[in-house]
């Protein structure tokens, strides 16, 4: 059931062929383009990299589709499935862990009803855990989109989530 809803939402969200063409025209994608920049720009627009967009990028850049997917699947920053409007990245690195980072992660999971790398049914949040965010002094650390929320505990973390929910609501 959950999957069906996610699939429906994904379908609703999937950009049309015309959207893709228009964006790639705008980005002037050609065999001279830098693949990673193009992928970043396309993901910035659509939130993820839809398969038809990758096929069209492959055609225009003359980079084989197998290689395009090779690059996409190599970098953690790229998504081939739609993800939530907000990306939550919780640190599971040593410094955060000793200060209770795992409890923060557990609380977020429980609150949102998702596991790592999963997206909430309402497509609001995607949860990721990462090895280090490079700001150990602020640990436990939770980054939402590009905003760093430091010194987290389960209660504070839930308040942060609530803030984003209210903003969107």
Partner 1 sequence: MQSEMTTDRIMADEVSLSIDDTEVTVPAGTTVFLAAERVGIDIPHLCYEPDLGLPPSSSCRLCLVEVEGARTLVPSCSYAASAGIVVRTDTDEIREIRRMVIELLLSNHPHDCLTCEKSGDCDLQKYAYELGVKAPEYAGELIPPQPVQDGPAISYDRTKCILCGRCVEVCHNVEVTGAIDFQERGFDTHIGLPPGLPRDQSGCTECGNCIDVCPTGALSFVGAEGKGRTWELGRVATICPYCGVGCTIVLNTRDNRVVKVTGQPGLGINHGWLCVKGRFGFDFINHEGRLTGPLIRRDGELVPASWDEALDFVAEHLTQIKQEFGPDSIAALASAKCTNEENYIMQKFMRAVIGTNNVDHCARLCHASTVAGLAQAFGSGAMTNSIEDLDQATTIFVIGSNTTECHPIIGAAIKRAAQRGVPLIVADPRTIELTEYAAVHLRQRHGTDVALVNGLMNVILSEGLEDEQFIAERTEGFAEFRASVEPYTPELAERITGVAAEDIIRAARLYAQAPAAAIIYSMGITQHTTGTDNVLSLANLALLTGNLGKRGAGVNPLRGQNNVQGACDMGGLPNVFPGYQKVDDDEARAKFEVVWGSSLPASSGLTVVEMINAAAKGAVKALYVMGENPMLSDPHQSHVEEALKKLGLLIVQDIFLTETAQLADVVLPATSFAEKEGTFTNTERRVQRVRKALEPPGEARGDWQIICELARRMGSEMSYSGAAAIQDEIAFLTPSYKGITYDRLEQGSLQWPCPDRDHPGTPILHVGRFTRGLGKFHAVEFIPAQELPDDDYPFALSTGRILQHFHTGTMSRRSEVLGALVSVGVIEINPQDAERLGIADGQPVRVSSRRGEIEINAVVTDRVTPGTLFLAFHYREAPANRLTIAALDPVAKIPEFKVCAVKIEPVW
Dist CA 115 CA 157 (whole Å): 16
Query: Which residues would be at the binding site for partner 1 (CB under 8 A)?
Result: 51, 54, 64-70, 73-75, 80
What CA–CA distance (Å, rounded) separates 113 from 134?
Answer: 27
Placement of tokens 């996610």 in the chain: 6
CB of 67 vs partner 1, minimal distance in Å: 5
Please identify, using beta-carbon distances, which residue of 132 and 135 lies nearer to partner 1.
132
- In the complex, the smallest distance separating the C-beta of residue 68 from partner 1, rounded to whole angstroms, is 8
Residue 136 · residue 101 · CB < 8 Å: no
Shortest approach of partner 1 to residue 69 CB, angstroms? Answer: 4
How many Cα atoms occupy the beta-carbon half-sphere of 57 within 13 Å? 27
Return the number of the residue (75 or 148) whose C-beta is nearest partner 1: 75
Q: Which is nearer to partner 1, 70 or 113 (by Cβ)? A: 70
Of residues 16 and 73, the one with the C-beta less far from partner 1: 73
Distance of CA 43 to the CA centre of its chain: 9
Q: Are 82 and 140 in contact (CB under 8 A)?
A: no
Of 38 and 112, CB closest to partner 1: 38
3-class DSSP state of 148: strand
Tokens matching residue 2: 């959950």
Question: Smallest distance from the beta carbon of 71 to partner 1, in angstroms?
Answer: 9
């Amino acid at each position: 059931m959950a999957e069906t809803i996610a699939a429906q939402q994904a379908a609703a969200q999937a950009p049309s062929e015309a959207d893709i063409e228009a964006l790639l025209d705008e980005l002037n994608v050609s065999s001279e383009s830098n693949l990673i920049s193009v992928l970043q720009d396309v993901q910035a627009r659509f939130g993820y990299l839809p398969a038809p967009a990758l096929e069209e990028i492959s055609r225009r850049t003359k980079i084989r589709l197998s290689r395009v997917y090779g690059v996409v699947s190599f970098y953690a920053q790229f998504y081939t499935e739609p993800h939530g409007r907000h990306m939550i990245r919780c640190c599971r690195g040593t410094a955060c862990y000793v200060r209770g980072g795992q409890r923060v992660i557990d609380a977020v999971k429980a609150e949102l009803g998702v596991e790592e790398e999963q997206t909430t049914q309402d497509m609001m949040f995607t949860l990721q855990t990462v090895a280090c965010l490079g700001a150990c002094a602020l640990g436990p650390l939770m980054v939402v989109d590009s905003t760093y929320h430091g010194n987290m505990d389960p209660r504070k973390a839930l308040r942060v989530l609530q803030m984003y929910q209210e903003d969107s609501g």
